[in-house]
Amino acid sequence: MSGRGDSGTSEPPEGMTEDFADPVEDARRARWAAAGTGALLALAGLAASLLRLTGSVPTLVPAAYAVGAAVCALASVLGSRGRTRRALWLLVAGVMVMALGDQFD
């Protein structure tokens, strides 16, 4: 065998580091992303609901935006508590409700 004696070790070569993802940091990022996205979509839905309320549209339109905003706000709360999978599905549902309201406009 003509290879180096330490070729079987698992250490990275000099000057290179292994990049292991920290699961705690990943969970923290997921919570912040779910909470931030939920809050942003809730504010957007509330603003759209208030804008549509002042116009001459059927009452179903602002109600759909308000319900979608409430669902996104709930997703934000769940996301901040670590329930990121449920928060993601609630965000999708909230945006779909708002899109449905937009179809009636």
Half-sphere exposure of 52 (CA within 13 A, CB side): 22
* pLDDT tens-digit series, residues 32-81: 999 999 999 999 999 999 999 888 888 899 999 999 999 999 999 999 99
Taking a C-beta distance cutoff of 8 angstroms, is the pair 79, 87 a contact?
A: yes
Structural domain count, the chain: 1
Furthest C-alpha separation in the chain: 85
Q: With respect to residue 93, please indicate whether it lies within any of the assigned structural domains.
A: yes
Residue 32 lies in domain: 27-103
**In a domain? residue 73:** yes
- pTM above threshold 0.85: no
Residue 49 domain-assigned?
yes
**75 in any annotated domain:** yes
Q: Considering the domain boundaries, does residue 21 fall inside one?
A: no
The tens digit of pLDDT for each residue in 70-86 reads 999 999 999 999 899 99
Q: What is the pLDDT of residue 11?
A: 60
